[in-house]
Amino acid sequence: MKGLRCENVYKVFGREAAKATRMLQQGASRDELPDGVTVAVNDVSFEVKAGEIFVVMGLSGSGKSTLLRTLNALGPATGGKIFIGDDEITAMKGKAMRELRGSSMSMVFQHFALLPHRTVIDNAAYPLEIAGVKKEERLKRAAESLKTTGLEGWENNYPSELSGGMQQRVGLARALTADAPILLMDEAFSALDPLIRRDMQELLLEIQEVKRRTIIFITHDLNEAMFVGNRIAVMRNGSVDQIGTAEEILTNPASEYVERFVQDVDRSRVITASSIMVKPRSRLYRGDGPNVILRKLEETDSVGGWVTDGGSRFLYGSIYADEIIAALRKNPHLNSIDDLIHPSHPGVGPDTPLNQVVAPAANEQATIPVVSDDNRLLGVIPNVTLLRALGQDDEGMAVDLSAASAATPSSATSTTATNETEGVAEQSEVSTNDIEEDK
């Protein structure tokens, strides 16, 4: 895999583009530039890690597509440096530049750019044909790419016989067939209907799980950017206002422009459980006796809590004060809580978006456990914390009871909940390592 790096990149159009670029590099404002020049990309720097989906987003005219074309030198930068891996493409000319572009980068276009007189499989194999790969080999690789993009059985059809979504799948298959480590996607799904667009977004993420390409994805759709991107660069007037994860941009916008941009975003699809989980107020351990558990619950004025292992924090389930009291009445000498633990729980993973936390939280005044892949308790989410994060009250909250919990199979087995009331004072973010054992 290869990464990509931009250092102070400029792209200026016009007869005096070179002069205008030098003036910008020396600190001149746009108003001081010669007449007849247009600044499309202005002093942009970022680094895309190998295997990352890096989204560049902004409104029409922000410079995002022009920036993309500087990366593969289809529209060469007028200033700055661009590195593909360790190779500086901005320092290359002619054959060397074309070879680097051909071996390292593929592109998916907004309007498909298929050859109408060629079949689906011939379109998918076209990059290998240009590279001189033998027909048998290129058709074999193209067929594999078409299978990956869900077009098996359509190899001998023509583009005109396919829907828009299917044509874009051919475009994606063509890029995959080239087997380049870097994939440039210029508004690739923008021309598709909303449902087909979401299908393509999900397909891209599924392919990325297996292929692990470095992807630069251009879009004007903030929800799309937050759905597919590992990180996002927000562009305005040719410059980058902010770079960060979807959650960082949503919760900590760097400028008034970015803040306005994200104000209508569905926060529940972006903010994750790990951002709002808090430490459990009651530390209940499996080795505690029933009277110890009751005392801990009394100290925090809780009617129940989550039982974990004292060392590993492995989550065994929930326990309730009223059930402990009833058991002690029957057997005053009871010294174990094993038979009182409810082993199933509605745990969610730390990366679960809040819209998938709502369903398990809707049961009662529930505290939702946040668990790791190996079922260790990382923190809990009280309902009041969830509601505050969503920015709604109980009556105004639209509860999607069909939303599935994103817990691991070992943890998400039912919707058993506790009525433990958590203190709002502990609503600071908790990382995986923040929960200290205080036996």
Extents of the domains making up the chain: 4-269, 274-438
Q: Judge whether residue 412 has pLDDT over 70.
A: no
User: What single letter denotes the amino acid at residue 268?
Assistant: S
Of 365, 373, 382, give the one whose Cα is nearest residue 430.
382
- The pLDDT of residue 193 is above 90: no
Highest mean pLDDT among 53-57, 172-176, 382-386, 430-434: 53-57
pLDDT at 338: 93
**Mean pLDDT in residue range 313-327:** 91
pLDDT tens column, 342-366? 987 778 888 888 878 877 666 544 5
Q: Which of 48-52, 134-138, 431-435 has the weakest average pLDDT?
A: 431-435
pLDDT at site 363: 59
Range in 51-60, 75-84, 268-277 the model is least confident about: 268-277
Q: Which CATH superfamily is domain 4-269 in?
A: P-loop containing nucleotide triphosphate hydrolases (3.40.50.300)
Residue 425, pLDDT above cutoff 60: no
Question: Looking at domain 274-438, which of 3.30.450.30, 3.40.640.10, 2.30.29.30, 3.10.580.10 is its CATH number?
Answer: 3.10.580.10
Structure confidence at residue 366 (pLDDT): 54
The C-alpha atoms of residue 272 and residue 206 are separated, in whole angstroms, by 20
- β-pairing, 367-371 vs 304-308, is unpaired
Query: What kind and span of H or E run contains 305?
Result: strand 304-308
Closest CA to 320 of 300, 338, 345, 302: 302
- How many Cβ atoms are within 10 Å of 252's Cβ, its own excluded? 11
pTM (2 d.p.): 0.66
Convert the pLDDT of each residue in 363-377 to its tens digit: 544 588 999 889 999
Burial 81-112 (b: 16+ CB within 10 A, else e): ebbbbeeebbebeeeebeebbeebbbbbbbeb
Is 323 a residue whose pLDDT tops 60? yes
Question: What is the spatial distance between Cα 298 and Cα 303, in angstroms, rounded to a whole number?
Answer: 8
